[in-house]
């Protein structure tokens, strides 16, 4: 999810039930996407993260990697007026994921 390692990050990985060994080491993490985030919101359907359009290749690589390591979580890219990542998971997992995007919450 993120390239940094810390006790909080380790707790998040445990909550998300991710297999980091399945994630390609070269895949971009949240840190690579943060400069492109235009907004973060929650709905009854999950977490929505909006990006500027130039983030598309990085977002695609991120989602591909997340689907491998965090397969129990839904990672869907929506293309329309906005480039959007829709993340679906249980409530505890969504709170953990939201904390990774915390600097961009609106």
pLDDT in tens, 16-59: 878 888 899 999 999 999 999 999 999 988 999 999 999 999 99
Instruction: Output helix, strand, coil percentages for the chain, rounded to the nearest 5.
Output: 45, 25, 30
User: Does any domain span residue 88?
Assistant: yes
Q: How confident is the model at residue 99 (pLDDT cuts 50, 70, 90)?
A: confident
Look up the domain containing 32 and give its range: 7-104
pLDDT value of position 100: 85
User: Does any domain span residue 2?
Assistant: no
pLDDT value of position 96: 86
User: Does any domain span residue 42?
Assistant: yes
User: Does any domain span residue 64?
Assistant: yes
User: Does any domain span residue 35?
Assistant: yes
More confident residue, 77 or 82: 77
User: Does any domain span residue 1?
Assistant: no
Contact 1/13 with Cβ under 8 angstroms? yes
> What is the number of domains present in the chain?
1
User: Does any domain span residue 91?
Assistant: yes
If you average pLDDT over residues 56-68, what whole number do you get?
96
Indicate the angle between helix axes 91-100 and 7-16, nearest 10 degrees: 140
User: Does any domain span residue 47?
Assistant: yes
């Amino acid at each position: 999810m993120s390239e940094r390692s810390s006790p909080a990050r380790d707790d998040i990985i445990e909550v998300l039930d991710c297999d980091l060994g399945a994630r390609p080491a070269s895949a971009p993490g949240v840190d690579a996407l943060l400069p492109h985030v235009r907004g973060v919101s929650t709905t009854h359907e999950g977490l929505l993260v909006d990006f500027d359009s130039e983030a598309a290749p990085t977002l695609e690589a991120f989602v591909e990697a997340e689907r491998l390591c965090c397969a129990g979580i839904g990672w869907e890219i929506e293309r329309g007026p906005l480039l959007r990542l829709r993340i679906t998971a249980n409530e505890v997992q969504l709170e953990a994921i939201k904390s990774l995007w915390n600097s961009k919450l609106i």
